[in-house]
Structure 1
Amino acid sequence: MTEHEPVPAGFERLQRGGPYMAGLGELYLRQDGDNVIIAMRVAERHTNMRGIAHGGMLASLADTALGIGLTMACAGRQSFVTVSLTTDYLDAARPGDWAEAHVRIDRIGRRVAFAGCRLHVGDKVLLRASGVFAVMPPLHAEQLTSGY
């Protein structure tokens, strides 16, 4: 596989994520009922000196997926800022891999929210993450669709 492989069926380009994620690469969304999956293609620029995806890049994908999943779960009536993120690395990703963050919403309260995800490449689990997020006012439409 290369980073130029086609996007799997059912995924649509996600026009959000801010300048930081725009620098990492294009994000894609697949939503099936309450199931939210945020994905991206691992590129050569995401690798460390061993030729595998840098852990920081995988953590960034998980953190972003959790925030987007929480925002979608409340239909955009709130936004979220990471308070705590715990990650466990279980396997490696390589250039060309299609990395999917499968989001699980545990609870959205008035002040904090809890969510988790697993990053997959096919049947292989790369990372599991759980986070605590501060509940914030919603982002403005211009912030959400700024082209990133």
Structure 2
Amino acid sequence: MANEFLKDHLYEIYNQNPFVDLLQIKIVELQEGAAKLTMPVVNAKHTNLYNVAHGGALASLADTAMGVACATTGKKVLTLDMNMNFIRSAKPRETISAVGRVVHNGTHTMVAETDIVDSMNNLILKARATFFVIGNFLPEE
């Protein structure tokens, strides 16, 4: 990413977000149009009654990874639509990773996709989303 202000700003705002903090989502890597995030699968916090990662936790990680990838272009976005394919379960006590990538960087809308994988790089989920552009990140924020 060429813009160090934007990179620092994204780390700061996502590290201070209560929902991202609740799920223990961390930004690992940023580059323009892409972002890598991680989330531990913690018993009782991230799991469902079958003791695997809850679909809602996985959806939140996917949405956040794609949203951050869009934000690396300097644009503020809101999710309009998201499609997810759950491939396999994520087990407790494992840290999973999501790599979000911008597929379309338009003036009014953006499209991104993400793969969520486990520590052995097994595919857990594939997702694709459309985002509405609501503005740009500015240095004075």
* 1:40 alignment partner AA: M
> Once the 2 structures are TM-superposed, how far is the Cα of residue 140 of structure 1 from its aligned partner?
6.5
TM-superposed deviation, 1:36: 2.5
Paired residue secondary structure (2:136): coil
Identity %: 26
What residue number does 1:118 align with? 115
Q: Which amino acid aligns with 2:136?
A: P
> How high is the TM-score relative to the length of structure 1?
0.76
The correspondence of residues 1-148 of structure 1 with structure 2, limited to 5 A, is 14-15=11-12, 16=14, 18-31=17-30, 35-44=34-43, 45-72=45-72, 74=73, 76=74, 78-121=75-118, 122-139=120-137
Structure 1 unaligned spans of 5+: 1-13, 144-148
Cα shift at 1:34: 5.9
Q: Call closer, same or farther: CA 1:142–1:92 in 2, change over 3 Å.
A: farther
In structure 2, C-alpha distance between the alignment counterparts of 1:23 and 1:141, rounded to whole Å: 28
Tell me the equivalent position of 2:8. none
Asked whether the equivalents of residues 87 and 130 of structure 1 are also in contact (C-alpha less than 8 Å), the reply is: yes
**Any conservation in 2 of the 1:119–1:125 contact (CA below 8 Å)?**
yes
- CA shift digits 1:93-147 (9 cap, x unpaired): 112211111122111101000010110002210000000000111357798xxxx
**Number of residue pairs aligned between Structure 1 and Structure 2:** 127
Aligned to 1:91, the other structure's residue is in SS state coil
Q: Distance in 2 between matches of 1:67 and 1:111?
A: 15
Higher relative contact order (CA 8 A, sep 6+): 1
| Root-mean-square deviation over aligned CA pairs | 2.2
Distance 1:46 1:83, change over 3 A: same
Say if 2:32 and 2:69, in contact at 8 Å, map to a contact too. no
Cα distance change of structure 1 residues 141 and 61 upon mapping to structure 2, 3 Å threshold: farther
Structure 2: gaps spanning 5 or more residues? 1-10
TM-score normalised by the chain length of structure 2: 0.80
